[in-house]
Chain A
Amino acid sequence: MGPKETQKILIQDLGFKKYKSALSLQEKLQKQRIAGNTPDTLLLVEHEPVYTLGKNANRNHLLQSRDKSVEVHNIERGGDVTFHGPGQLVGYPILDLTNYKKSVSWYMRTLEELTIRVLKEFDIEGNRIKGLTGVWVENKKIAAQGVRISRWVTMHGFSINVCPQLSYYDGIIPCGIFNYDVTSMEECLNKKISIKKVKNSISEIFLEMFTSRNKNG
C-alpha cells in the first residue's frame, strides 16, 4: 500500500450485531491491520443487551440483582465492567496508531474529544473528569471507553448512550466507579434522538479528526 492509501479510513455500519460476532470481526480486522492488509477502519454497531468484563474487572461490580437473562462476556480489553444494548451506539476503531501518535493517553483523550464534539452537535455539553476515562454530562457518565492494543493496532473502543434503557446499568457498577450515575442523550435533551443522526455525526467527525492527524496525510 502506498502512503496515499494508508490515510483512507473505512467506516462500516454493522447495524445490529451480536456481541460475539462483532468481537470476532474486530479480532480478524486487527490481525489484518497488523499485517497491513486492510486500511484503518471504524465499525459502528448496536448490540443485544450484554455485560462485558475487562481483564482486570472486579466481578463484584456485576451485581447479584442484575437481570440474569442478560449475557455476560469476559473479554480482553482495558477497563472494568460495562453494559451494551439497544439504543447505545458502539464504535470500534481498528487503527494503526503508528500513523498517528504512539501514545495510549493521546488515543483515549482523542476518543473523548470525538464524543464531546458529537454531543455538541446535539447541544449537549460533555465533560471530562480528571483522572477518569470517558465523557460525563454534569457528573453522569454518557460515554465509556475501553481499548486493547497489539503492536499499536487498536480494537474495542467507545460507546455513547443515545437512548438505551438505563435500568440495565442498575445491574452493575459501571467501570467500577461507585459515585457516578449514568445518563443518555435522550435523557439530557428530554426528547427522542435518531441513532442514525448520531451515527452520521460520529462518522463525519471521526473522519475529519483522524484524517487531519494522520502523519502520512
Chain B
Amino acid sequence: MIIDVVMPKMGESITEGTILEWKKRVGDSIAMDEILLEIGTDKVDSEIPSSAEGVIVEILAKPNDVIEVGKVIAKIDSEKESSKSKDSFENIDESFSADLSKVEEKISINDSKTIINQKEKRFFSPVVMKIVAENQLPLSELEKITGTGRKGRVTKKDILFYINEKEKSEIVIPKKDFGNIDQKSQIGTSNQEEMSHMRQVISKHMVESLSTSAHVYVMTDVDMSRIVEFVKLNEVSFKDQESYNLTYTPFVVQAAVQALLGFPKMNASIDDTKIKYHRHINIGLAVSVDNGLMVPSLLHCEEKNFLGFCRSVNDIAKRARKGDINPDELSGSTFSITNFGVFGVTLGTPIINQPNVGILGVGAIKKRPVVVEDVDGDSIGIKNMMMLSLGFDHRLIDGAEGSNFITSVKRNLETMSLEFNF
C-alpha cells in the first residue's frame, strides 16, 4: 500500500513549513517513528518521525521548499520491504495476480506525526514493477499509464511502450522545469556563489526603485569647452594647494545645486499622497567601490562654495572606496548624481535613488564637431561636449519641468563664472 506523507501541522495558525533536510532517500526503508525529515516553521526546527513503516518510493519536495500544511511531500510503500525479493516473482504470469484493492480514504494519526492517506491502489505485476525499477520511473507516473490488459491493467507491453515514447519525447522536448538545476549543462553554469551582502542590498534597492517610481528620461548636450580649458590651466596650482586632483564632478555638482535652488520640486520626496519639500540640498553621489556601489551624501550643499564642493566630493569618494563611510552619510540624500562618464561612456539612464525624485547622469566629455553660430554666419567647430541625462519620477514631475531643470543645469555649466583662486 502506498502511504502519502504530508506536511504536518505544527500548531494553530501555522499554514506552511519549510523542508530543511531529508534524513532518508528514495529506496531507503524506514521504521515507524524513525526520523524522516526536518522542517522549519517560524523560528522552530522540528524533526518529523515517520508514521508508517516501509520503503520510501518518492520524495516530492526539496530542501528550502515552502510547502502548505497537508500537501503530500513523500510516499512510502508499506508492503515493499526491500528490493531483494523481486526476482522470485519475475516469472509469475500477470493474469494470476490479485485484483484491485480498495482501502479506506484517510486515517489521521497523532498530529505530531505525519498524516497518512491511504488511497485506492492499482495493481501492478512484478514484471511491470521490475521494469519500473530498472528505468527509475516514479510511481506517480506509472499510475497515469492507461493499461490495455484485463480490467485496464498495465501490461509489460504497455510499460515498455510508455518508456520508449518517453525517451523519444525527452530528446525533442527539454524538461519542463526551467529553474531546475538539470538545465545547468545547457546554460553552461560553471559555478555559483552567494551574493555578497552589499550586492543583495543593491539588488533589492534597484528593483524597489523601479517598481516605486515612474521613471522617465530627458537628455541634453553641454558645451564644456570653457571648463575643460579652465581645468587645464589650473590643475597644477589646484593640486599644489589642495593635494588632490581637480575633477569635473564639482562643476556638475555646483551647476545642479544652483538648478535645484530654482526647482524645489526636484529636491523633494513623495510620501503617499504628500509632497515633502526638503529644506537642505543633500546630493547623493554614486561612487563605485570594490564589488559594488555606494551613494554617500554631500550634506547641506546649499551652503557650499566651489572649493567646498571640491573638498567634499574628494573626501567622500576617498572614504567610500576605503569603506570608511558611516551609515548616516548613506542616507539623507535629496537628489543624486552619477558620473559614469569617468568610464568613458557617452550616455546612460540611471535608476532613481529612493526616496529622491531625480537623478542626474553625467556622460564623458568628448571632442565633437558642432555647428558654431557666429555673427559672421554658421561654421563647424571642435568643441568639448558632454551629455547629461536626467531620470525623474513622473508621478511628481512632468516633462516640461524635467526639461526646464536639465536645461537650467546645462546653462549653469556653460555660463559658470570661473573666477576661483587656487
Contact = CB atoms under 8 A, between A and B. Distances in A.
Contact of B40 (A56, A61, A103): A56
Given A56-B64, A60-B195, A108 B20 contact: no
Interface stretch (A44-52, A75-83, A209-217): A75-83
A150 B47 contact: yes
A54 B20 CA distance: 11
A149 B45 contact: yes
B11 A54 contact: no
Interface in A89-117: 98, 101-108
A105 B42 contact: yes
A148 to B, nearest CB: 5
Nearest to A105: B11
Contacts of A168: none
A60 B195 CA distance: 8
Contact of A102 (B35, B111, B197): B111
Contacts of A150: 35, 46-47
Contact of A106 (B11, B47, B197, B200): B11
B44 A56 contact: no
Contact of B43 (A61, A63, A102, A108): A108
Nearest to B200: A60
B256 to A, nearest CB: 30
B14 interface: yes
A20 interface: no
Interface residues of A, number: 33
Residue of A56, A101, A104 with most partner-chain B CB within 10 A: A104
Contact of A151 (B12, B40, B42, B47): B47
Contact of B44 (A101, A102, A107): A107
Interface string B17-51: 01011000000000000010010111111110100
Interface string A135-155: 000000000011111111000
A147 B111 contact: no
A125 B18 CA distance: 33
Contact of B42 (A58, A59, A76, A78): A78
B40 A133 contact: no
Contacts, number: 84
A60 B198 CA distance: 9
Given A55-B40, A105-B13, A148 B46 contact: yes
B194 interface: yes
Contacts of A146: 43-44
Residue of B10, B35, B42, B200 with most partner-chain A CB within 10 A: B42
A60 B42 contact: no
B197 A104 contact: no
Nearest to A58: B194
B12 A106 contact: yes
A200 B333 CA distance: 48
Interface string B172-214: 0000000000000000000000111100100000000000000
Given A147-B43, A147-B45, A104 B11 contact: yes
A101 B46 CA distance: 15
B196 A54 contact: no
B293 to A, nearest CB: 17
B36 to A, nearest CB: 13
A142 to B, nearest CB: 16
B197 A148 contact: no
Nearest to B197: A60
Nearest to B47: A150
Contacts of A152: 112
Contact of B112 (A55, A148, A151): A151
A104 B64 CA distance: 19
A38 B39 CA distance: 26
Shortest 6 CB-CB contacts between residues of A and residues of B: A103-B11, A105-B11, A79-B43, A78-B43, A149-B46, A104-B44
22 contacts: A55-B21, A55-B38, A55-B40, A56-B18, A56-B64, A58-B194, A59-B194, A60-B196, A77-B45, A78-B41, A79-B43, A98-B112, A103-B10, A103-B12, A107-B11, A133-B42, A146-B44, A147-B45, A148-B45, A150-B35, A150-B47, A151-B49
Given A58-B194, A64-B197, A103-B11, 8 more contacts: A54-B45, A55-B21, A55-B40, A56-B20, A104-B10, A105-B13, A151-B112, A175-B43
Interface of A: 54-56, 58-61, 63-64, 76-79, 98, 101-108, 133, 145-152, 173, 175
